[in-house]
Amino acid sequence: MTAVPLHDWDLAPREAIALQRRLAGRVERADRLGPVRHIAGVDIGFEAQGEITRAAVVVLAWPGAPGGEFAVVEEALHREPTRMPYVPGLLSFREVPAALAAFEQLTVRPDLVMVDGQGIAHPRRLGVASHLGLWLDLPTIGVAKSRLCGRHGEPGPERGDWSPLTDGPEDEVIGAVLRSRAGVKPIFVSPGHRLSLTTALHWVTACLGRTKLPEPTRLADRLASRRGEKSR
């Protein structure tokens, strides 16, 4: 095997970019999902002025209740010293190691994973969702709150309306700008690994509750930012 050892997470920007180019070629954009019974949400937060990284994973049962509520099957939180600063385009090297550690705590292996960040909607087509998907060998979807690269028009006003996110000279479609809630800034959805954009949109839409973010990501976000203790 030509597996990259874990210590190679600490690479100089130059090498990290070269690695992304190689890994991008291994990302699968065609659907390869099994039956979906468990959907996970992943997000990373920080504490102590960014010195400590908090990786949170929340596993939900599919399907949920009619009202858009899902049963939480399991939660995992991993804390570790932050390994590197935020560098646009190299986010996965900062967040994926901690996310993998959190996944190791799980007793159930999710069938689909939603990650806070971009999938292939990345300069080298290897956003954090794609990178994590490759390491876990699981279908992943990138759900970002803002744009990293690409061009797009304004999506329609209704929940579910979306417009394609394109990039490059060939106008390659790399994701979708989705109106997840009326009257709110849209979210950026892109395939991470092992699924198409159409399928990614299907699942993100299916997991929308009353808020802007789909439930998996929203709950992971809350746990990573330790907001679960507050407001109660």
Partner DNA sequence: GCGACAG
Partner DNA sequence: ATCTTGTCGC
Say which DSSP state 195 is in.
Answer: S
Say which DSSP state 219 is in.
Answer: H
Q: Residue written as tokens 């390869």? A: 32
Which of 34, 35, 88, 157 is close enough to bind DNA by CB under 7 A? 88
**Subset of 91-120 contacting DNA (CB under 7 A):** 91-92, 116-118
Least gap, CB of 90 to DNA (angstroms): 6
* Number of amino acids touching DNA (CB under 7 A): 29
Cβ(169)–Cβ(175) below 8 Å: no
Indicate the residue among 127 and 214 with the shorter CB distance to DNA: 127
Which x/- pattern over 116-155 shows residues binding DNA (rule: CB under 7 A)?
xxx---x----xxx------------x-xxxxxx------
3-state secondary structure of 132: helix
- Taking the C-alpha atoms of residue 200 and residue 97, their distance in angstroms, rounded to an integer, is 24
Which x/- pattern over 25-64 shows residues binding DNA (rule: CB under 7 A)?
------------------xxxxx--x---x----------
Structure tokens at 45: 């937060």
User: For residue 31, what are the CA distances in angstroms to 51, 116, 172, 185, 197?
Assistant: 38, 20, 18, 28, 9
Of 173, 156, 172, the C-alpha closest to 164 is 173
Least gap, CB of 188 to DNA (angstroms): 7
Under the binding rule (CB under 7 A), the answer on residue 207 touching DNA is: no
Which of 10, 86, 105, 156 is close enough to bind DNA by CB under 7 A? 86
List interacting residues with DNA (CB under 7 A): 43-47, 50, 54, 86, 88-92, 116-118, 122, 127-129, 142, 144-149, 224-225
